[in-house]
Structure formats: structure tokens, C-alpha cells
Structure 1
Amino acid sequence: MHRSSINTVGVLAKDETFSLESMRLGAGETTGIVSCESDLVLLFIEGELEIKTGDRTHTVSGSAQAYINAGISFEIISGDSTASYLLASCPGASLLPTKDHDPKIITGGVTILRTDRYDRFPDSGLVRGGMYYLDHGKVATYHSHDAAAEVFVFLKGECDVKVDGFTERFTAGEVLYVPAEEKHELANVSEGRLEVWLTVTPNVSPSHTFYQELADGTFKRTTPRLDGLESRPPSA
């Protein structure tokens, strides 16, 4: 299991397809005007802040999420208290200082999404994901993603996570990274609804690979591969 915490400032997970970082801004601090060559998705944990682009200002507070198209110039400004947020770049890339905002409106820009409903990022070849919920006692189907890693940020509830046959419990504030091809399953063991923010990179098709459990306790995939690669052998 690859686990970390949103309370840790810095890189929480990273591979060749994406990077997830935990960021903080003190009261009144700013990122300055920046841009990124990759698509960005953000999860705002706490505090109030503004996201400014050349043509508009978005006021957000934790908890909220956002999608920012590659190449968009923007600035994040904290309010009267410390603001913390997660930033995933897909593929992994650094924010680059930019002298000025874009002089005109650019298609896409910044999209602010909610975290209290099943809101998803705009469809992209680089990333998919957003909010995911699981009711009390429910179990997400055992599955994997061909050539795509998945990251889960647990926001509310307790969850027993099984990854390739091994199970560990995750609680609010923890982060799980599941490499490509590894089977995983989420089981809500809390009294209420489980709330999770997730990203999958890259956005490959088919989006999910499912399995049939064999008599010997191993699993055989039932979803055809589309990338021409060999499948992993049956495993627990």
C-alpha cells in the first residue's frame, strides 16, 4: 500500500503520468501568476481563497475542487487565514511563473466544481476523476485500470481498501496511491457515507478492467485489452 496524509506538505504521490502535491498559503499569500504545461486538478481542503485569470475571479473555500486546462495563466490568493489544497498535474509538471495573465479569454480556463455531489472533472485525455461516494455497507467492485494509476483522497468515513489481495483501513485525511494494473476494492465500514476525491491518469479506455473469481481464489480479467499488451496473470 502506498499511503500518505494531506497534512504533509510536499509531494504525496508521483509517477510518469502525474504528480500530487499538498500545498499551503499563509494569510494573504499568493502563488503569483503561474501556468502549467499539463492539465491541473485541485482539491481545496481549508481556508478561503481566490483564483484569478485574465477575465474572471473565482472565490472558493474548502472543501471545493477545480480543473484548470494546460497553458492557462492563473493566480491563487489566500484570504485572512492559511489555505491548504492539493494540486495534481497530469502529466507531472511544475508551475511556471508567468509575467502577465492571458490578454484574452482562452477556451477552458478554470472550472470550479462542488464536493457535496458527484461532480467530475471535464473529460480529458490526460485525467479523469472527481468526487466519489459509497453508502454504508457498500463495496466498490474489484477492478483495475490498464496503464493508469489511481489516487484516492479520503475525505469522510472509514474504508477498508483491498489492493491485490491485501487489505488496510483508511480514514479521513489519508491518501492512497494505486499503481496501474493493480486490482483494488473499496468497502465502506463507517456508519455514514464514504466521501472520496480521486484522480486516474492517463484517461485510458476502457476506463475499468473487471475480473472473474476462479475456483482457486485467483482472478481472471473479463475486460478485453485495447493497448495490445499482455495482461498480468491471474492473482489474488
Structure 2
Amino acid sequence: MTIARKSEMKTVDGPEANFTGKVTISGRFQRDDPSRVSGAIVHFEPGARSAWHTHPAGQTLIVTEGIGWTQIADGPKLEFTAGDILWCPADRKHWHGATAHQGMTHVAIQESADGSAVTWMNKVTDAEYLAPLGTE
């Protein structure tokens, strides 16, 4: 058993190429073969969000704090809150982040396929981000 101590975890800023606004990433992990699982704790300040992206084996988000928004391409923009668990299916273009007025933190868990866990794409525009909420 290995324990990653919070006091020893590094926190880094989310890369500007992949995020809009202030995003911090901590608790990154990548499991050794044969596992393909990786993840991190990601905190989004109000107004911050990811760029559009896909995951070859899907992604699970466990929301631990705040309120956020997410959208799969050509789908409605949805709101989620602390305690919710999101699943984005494999190879579905999507984004997620905080709302305009409240921050959000989630644990992101995904598996790699062919050595990659994510494919980053273009940034979410302000118009996409601020579009009205839809329904599931």
C-alpha cells in the first residue's frame, strides 16, 4: 500500500493552453502497468474552465466543492454541484469548469488508451461558456 500525503503533493497551475482562467491541479497520479488509470484534483476559480477535449476511455469527475458547468459537443450545457459524479463517455468532445460566480473542485479519473489519457482541442469561447443552461 502506498499513501500519497497531502502535505507532500505539489500544486501547479493548469496550463494556459488547456484552460481559461485560474485553475490549479494537485494530487496528480499515474498508476503503473498493468493499470491505465490516472487522475488529479482540479480546482477552478469562478469563470475558469477547461478547453474542449476528449478522453479515449472516458472520464469520471467526482465533484467535491462548489458548482460547475459542463457540456458535451452538440449537447446542452448542464450544471452540477458538490457530491455529484459525472461520466463523460469515451471520445466525446466536452468541457467542464466553474460557474461564472462560484468556484468548483473535482477529482478527475481517466484511463489511457494507446499511451494517451486526453486529447486537447480549442478553447471554449465566452459565448459557449455563458450560453443558457439546458436540460438533461
Partner Cα separation in structure 2 for residue 176 and residue 164 of structure 1: 15
- SS of the residue aligned with 1:153? strand
Q: Which amino acid aligns with 2:80?
A: F
Q: Deviations over 1:61-108 (max 9, x none)?
A: xxxxxxxxxxxxxxxxxxxxxxxxxxxxxxxxxxxxxxxxxxxxxxxx
> Paired residue for 1:171, among 81, 87, 90?
81
Q: Which amino acid aligns with 2:6?
A: R
Percent identical among aligned pairs is 18
Q: 1:127 to 1:178 in 2, by over 3 A?
A: same
Q: 1:189 to 1:180 in 2, by over 3 A?
A: same
Map of 1:66-215 to 2, 5 A cutoff?
Answer: 109-114=1-6, 118-125=26-33, 126-146=36-56, 148-166=57-75, 167-189=77-99, 191-202=101-112, 204-211=114-121
Partner Cα separation in structure 2 for residue 200 and residue 113 of structure 1: 21
- Structure whose CA Rg is larger: 1
- SS of the residue aligned with 2:46? coil
Q: 1:193 to 1:114 in 2, by over 3 A?
A: farther
Name stretches of at least 5 consecutive residues in structure 2 with no aligned partner: 12-25, 124-136
Q: 1:110 to 1:157 in 2, by over 3 A?
A: same
Q: CA deviation at 1:139?
A: 1.6
Partner Cα separation in structure 2 for residue 114 and residue 169 of structure 1: 29
Q: Which amino acid aligns with 1:133?
A: H
Partner Cα separation in structure 2 for residue 139 and residue 197 of structure 1: 15
Name stretches of at least 5 consecutive residues in structure 1 with no aligned partner: 1-108, 214-236
Partner Cα separation in structure 1 for residue 5 and residue 30 of structure 2: 10
Alpha carbon RMSD of aligned pairs, Å?
Answer: 2.6
Is the 2:70–2:95 contact (alpha carbons within 8 Å) kept by the matching residues of 1? yes
When the two structures are aligned, how many residues end up with a matched partner?
Answer: 104
Q: 1:173 to 1:190 in 2, by over 3 A?
A: farther
- SS of the residue aligned with 1:120? strand
Q: CA deviation at 1:129?
A: 0.2
Partner Cα separation in structure 1 for residue 114 and residue 107 of structure 2: 19
- Larger RCO of the pair (alpha carbons < 8 Å, separation 6+): 2
Q: CA deviation at 1:193?
A: 3.1
Bigger fraction of residues in helix? 2
Partner Cα separation in structure 2 for residue 113 and residue 202 of structure 1: 24
